[in-house]
């Protein structure tokens, strides 16, 4: 057995890639906030891109699963599941308006306007690295689970066929957590309420991602 095959065998069945990504992603975002002076737009915009990538791969997975789902669910249930999955893209369009128009410009601090535009047009290198890492991880997981060693029994089909899943709720719960921390800090004469908002959102996002990663049951 080659070294590469041995390595893949060791990490198969373990949430190593999502955990590594969560650690690296948070490190990049903390660097962006504390060193580069990010406001909240890049944090929310990255969440939107991650959801778009996940929704795209989810649709690809459902197409790959069609023969399997026909045996397990029947044609009508399979079609309904695919319609629910496609509805995610409409939901993401609504979120895009919220994230870009409201968070990126209307409610953003004045000094963040130009950095937000640069991020929007792919000129933020730290943001781009973060996003490319996520795309790379999802591509590798898709290849591993649906081509290299496919085992459709382990796939969470219901999650793929749901328009609004747990991870989709991150923006709502995360914004509430961030807003609560932003409200709480001034009560104790502490500053940095905007940082509290961003870190609150990031904390909820990370906890949900790690929870979903460890929830997967592997043999």
| Higher-pLDDT residue of 117, 40 | 117
pLDDT band of residue 164 (cuts 50, 70, 90) is: confident
Residue 41 belongs to some domain of the structure = yes
pTM: 0.83
- Its domain, for residue 136, covers 16-161
Tell me: pLDDT of 218 over 50. Answer: no
* Residue 44 Cα distances to 5, 15, 54, 64, 103, angstroms: 37, 24, 15, 30, 8
Query: How much is the average pLDDT of 170-196?
Result: 63
Residue 173 belongs to some domain of the structure = no
pLDDT (0 to 100) of residue 178: 63
Lowest mean pLDDT among 4-8, 43-47, 74-78: 4-8
Q: What's the sign of the alpha-carbon dihedral 66, 48, 196, 132?
A: positive
Rounded to 5°, the CA angle 193-196-197 comes to 90
Residue 95 belongs to some domain of the structure = yes
Residue 71 belongs to some domain of the structure = yes
The 10s digit of each residue's pLDDT in 47-74 is: 999 999 999 999 999 999 988 888 888 7
Residue 157 belongs to some domain of the structure = yes
| Higher-pLDDT residue of 129, 37 | 129
| DSSP collapsed to 3 states, 181-202 | HHHHHHHCCCCCHHHHHHHHHH
pLDDT (0 to 100) of residue 186: 57
Cα pseudo-dihedral 8, 131, 174, 90, rounded to 10: -100
Query: How much is the average pLDDT of 75-85?
Result: 86
Residue 184 belongs to some domain of the structure = no
Start-end of H helices in 12-124: 16-34, 40-64, 66-72, 75-96, 113-120
pLDDT (0 to 100) of residue 11: 45
Number of domains in the chain: 1
Tell me: pLDDT of 166 over 80. Answer: no
Q: What is the DSSP letter of 1?
A: -
Q: What is the DSSP string of 77-94?
A: HHHHHHHHHHHHHHHHHH
Q: What's the sign of the alpha-carbon dihedral 213, 214, 215, 216?
A: positive
pLDDT (0 to 100) of residue 10: 41
Residue 180 belongs to some domain of the structure = no
Q: Which class for 86: exposed (0-12), middle (13-18), buried (19 or more C-beta within 10 A)? A: middle
Tell me: pLDDT of 98 over 80. Answer: yes
Residue 1 belongs to some domain of the structure = no
CB burial readout 98-109, b (16+ within 10 A) else e: ebbeebbeeebe
Q: What is the DSSP letter of 16?
A: H
Q: Is 34 helix (H, G, I), strand (E, B) or coil?
A: helix
């Amino acid at each position: 057995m080659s070294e590469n095959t041995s390595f893949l065998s060791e990490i198969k069945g373990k949430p190593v890639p999502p955990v590594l990504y969560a650690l690296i992603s948070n490190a990049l975002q903390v660097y962006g906030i504390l060193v580069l002076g990010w406001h909240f737009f890049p944090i929310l915009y990255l969440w939107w891109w991650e959801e778009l990538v996940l929704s795209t791969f989810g649709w690809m997975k459902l197409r790959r699963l069609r023969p399997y789902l026909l045996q397990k669910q029947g044609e009508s249930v399979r079609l309904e599941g695919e319609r629910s999955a496609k509805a995610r893209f409409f939901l993401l369009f609504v979120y895009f308006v919220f994230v870009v128009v409201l968070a990126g410009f209307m409610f953003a601090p004045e000094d963040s306007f130009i950095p937000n535009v640069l991020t929007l047009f792919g000129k933020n290198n730290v943001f781009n690295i973060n996003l490319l890492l996520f795309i790379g991880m999802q591509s590798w997981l898709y290849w591993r689970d649906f081509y290299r060693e496919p085992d459709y029994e382990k796939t969470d089909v219901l999650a793929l066929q749901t328009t609004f899943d747990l991870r989709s709720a991150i923006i709502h719960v995360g914004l509430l957590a961030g807003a609560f921390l932003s409200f709480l800090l001034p009560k104790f004469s502490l500053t940095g309420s905007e940082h509290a908002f961003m870190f609150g959102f990031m904390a909820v996002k990370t906890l949900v991602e790690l929870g979903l990663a460890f929830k997967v049951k592997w043999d």
